[in-house]
Amino acid sequence: MSHVVVVGAGQAGSSLVVKLRNLGFEGEITLIGAENAPPYQRPPLSKKYLLGEMELERLYLKPEAFYGENGITLRTGEMVTRVNDVSVSLGDETIAYDHLVLTTGSLPRHLPAAIGGTLDGVYVVRGLTDVDAMAPEFTQGKHVLIIGGGYIGLEAAAVAASKGLKVTLVEMADRILQRVACTQTSDYFRNLHTSKGVKIIEGVGLDHLMGKTRVTGAKLTDGTELDIDFAIVGVGIMPDIALAEAAGVEMDNGIKTDTQGRTSIPNIWAAGDCASFPYKGGRIRLESVPNAIDQAEVVAENIMGAGKEYMAKPWFWSDQFDVKLQIAGLNTGYDDVITRQGDKDGMVSFWYYKGDQLLAVDAMNDPRGYMIGKRVIEASKTIPKEVVGDPAADLKPFM
């Protein structure tokens, strides 16, 4: 009887094993995760969970008992040390498989020890243990330094400000969100955060953190010195590829897969943050929950013999203060941005175009604009710029 082993018990890993059982797979399934908790949602960690608005059990993707009840061997708190084309190793133990799926996700980038990255009171936002460790720091009046003005940093800043902390955010690029969003979106979130008391410093990097064993301050590249109580590092993530790379699996901005999720070793598959795949004549790697779910479910179907190609439909979201940002599509290569004003204060959307072709939409508190844009983009259609720019124009006929 076939045995599927899944390494990485996050969103992709959980989605894959659940899909296998839903498809009627009768073989053995083993899901192995390095964390002690069963598979859980990551997005609420830095928001509702950190704010104390969500209990631990509500983070779980499935009740812990679900896995045993469905014949899935869930092994948490265990580190896979090696994989090859027939087995995985956990220390001295070896588990043979027929299909291996790598859903190892991504790892946060840390600051080097030489500039204070290993001092006590310096945190990253990635897993449950990270957030549990930093939660006691979030007491009113403390001064937190956020390093990095991407979505991770901005979400952490929003939670800290909401809990009454003094917040300083530094971004070494010219503007926050520079790598992922247009100037208009950067301006929107800068205005939002500064209106809530967050101090944002752009075009200035961190020189080093100060303190003997615990962080007490920071020196910036412009010479500014700050007294701080703790720091949160949000300078990006990278795919967790070590196991795959050591096994000789081909790499290309992550674990390289074909359109079906198969790697260069035929019975090894990959899905989620760690995997790159063909997309519109190129190759991309998506760091998002929807991608982790959809890609993993396609891999499950293909393990069952479906021969199905994964057709990504990129979408993302971010919650900051009372604003929900929803993003549809990928803005890579855009040459124009059209602003569409909503009918409520704070409701606006920015529409990315390359020539006359709609590529992506950033929608703030505008679920209708987001949904219309998403459907148009997924259908490879477009909407004339003059229509998008007219807040009175009806966009529904273009869906």
Confidence of residue 47 (pLDDT cuts 50, 70, 90): confident
> Where are the extended beta strands (E) located within 188-314?
199-202, 206-210, 217-220, 225-227, 230-233, 237-239, 255-256, 268-270, 275-279, 282-284
Write a three-state SS string for 119-158. Answer: CECEEECCCHHHHHHHHHHCCCCCEEEEECCCHHHHHHHH
> What residue ranges do the domains of the chain occupy?
3-107+237-303, 110-233, 322-398
* Superfamily for domain range 110-233: FAD/NAD(P)-binding domain (3.50.50.60)
Q: What backbone torsions phi and psi does residue 152 show, to the nearest 5 degrees?
A: -60, -50
Q: Do domains 110-233 and 322-398 have the same CATH topology?
A: no
Neighbours of 372 (CB within 10 A): 23
Number of Cβ within 10 Å of residue 396's Cβ equals 8
Task: Tell me if 146 sits within 8 A of 160, measured CB to CB.
Answer: yes
Amino acid (one-letter) located at 290: P
Average pLDDT, the chain: 97
Q: Which residue has the tokens 């027939």?
A: 86
pLDDT at 399: 84
CA nearest 106: which of 214, 239, 235?
Answer: 239
SS3 for 69-137, per residue?
A: HCCEEEECCCCCCEECCCEEEECCEEEECCEEEECCCEEECCCCHHHCCCCECEEECCCHHHHHHHHHH
3-state SS class at 353? strand
Decide the pairing of beta strands 143-147 and 166-171: parallel
For 238-254, give one letter per residue: b (16+ CB within 10 A) or e.
ebbbebbeebebeeeeb
Query: 397 Cβ partners below 8 Å, 6+ apart?
Result: none
pLDDT digits (tens, 9 = 90+) for 91-142: 999 999 999 999 999 999 999 999 999 999 999 999 999 999 999 999 999 9
Q: pLDDT tens-digit profile of 344-395? A: 888 999 999 999 999 999 999 999 999 999 999 999 999 999 999 999 999 9
CATH 3.40.50.300, domain 3-107+237-303, yes or no: no
Query: Which CATH number applies to 322-398: 2.60.40.1120, 3.60.21.10, 3.30.390.30, 3.40.50.150?
Result: 3.30.390.30
